[in-house]
């Protein structure tokens, strides 16, 4: 009986510690611990869909997109659909969300295989942030989630006025520059391999037959964007 009491007390203390950590990072008190534990669990440590954060990431992505769309619709009452769509893409792109997640301190809370070097430098923390949006939605409902996203993510981390002037699609920017200057530019698959349990693609940015930059990602599109970013920096465009 004493052992059971000690175990119960330990579980309670552990749960209380987890809640305090979450509250400090997220700025809200979790109601359902299990939802947040799942949201913080990458598939590299939890194999099954009900235990890792991929389902919550899917849900959170949709909820976050809807909240941002509503925010932009009201902020820019005279702007057209094209502008609003581009702004939303800038606000919820993978790199932006990953940077925000790191600033919020989610790296120390995310449970992932820390021995997998590819994961340590990947954008899984942005995925964790989306999963947490999904968890908050299921735990608190849409209205409170909307308030939380605006207070904890949009206002402190998404500098909307600055984003208006950023060209997020660096690949298109690079292609346009090459065309204007009369250069031949291609993006070519350099290699494809498994790192841990995930397939990783390495893409080359090739200018006039010469590799000028290389990018790595979990799909060809992301790898090409990374290569384009490095090429733009290299060329000083």
Active-site residue list: 61, 130
CA–CA separation, 76 vs 83, rounded Å? 9
Residue 166 CB neighbour total at 10 angstroms: 12
Residue 212 CB neighbour total at 10 angstroms: 16
Cβ distance 204 to 217 under 8 Å?
A: no
Q: What's the chain's Rg over C-alpha atoms?
A: 21
What order do you get walking across the sheet with 210-217 strand by strand? 185-195, 198-207, 210-217
């Amino acid at each position: 009986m004493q052992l059971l009491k000690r175990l119960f007390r330990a579980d309670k203390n552990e749960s209380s510690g987890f809640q305090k950590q979450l509250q400090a990072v997220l700025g809200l008190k979790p109601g359902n611990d299990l939802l947040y534990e799942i949201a913080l669990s990458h598939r590299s440590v939890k194999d099954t869909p009900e235990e890792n954060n991929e389902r919550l990431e899917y849900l959170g992505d949709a909820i976050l997109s809807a909240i941002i769309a509503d925010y932009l619709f009201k902020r820019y009452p005279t702007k057209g659909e094209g502008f609003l769509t581009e702004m939303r893409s800038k606000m919820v792109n993978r790199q932006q969300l990953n940077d925000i997640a790191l600033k919020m301190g989610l790296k120390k809370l995310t449970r992932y295989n820390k021995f997998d070097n590819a994961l340590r430098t990947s954008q899984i923390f942005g995925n964790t942030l989306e999963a947490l949006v999904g968890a908050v939605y299921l735990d608190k409902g849409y209205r409170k989630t909307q308030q939380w996203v605006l207070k904890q993510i949009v206002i402190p981390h998404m500098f909307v006025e600055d984003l208006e002037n950023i060209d997020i699609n660096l690949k298109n920017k690079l292609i346009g520059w090459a065309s204007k200057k009369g250069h031949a530019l291609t993006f070519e698959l350099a290699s494809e391999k498994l790192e841990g349990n995930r397939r990783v693609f390495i893409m080359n940015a090739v200018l006039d037959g010469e590799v000028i930059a290389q990018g790595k990602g979990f799909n060809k599109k992301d790898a090409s964007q990374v290569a384009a970013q490095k090429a733009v920096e290299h060329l000083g465009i």
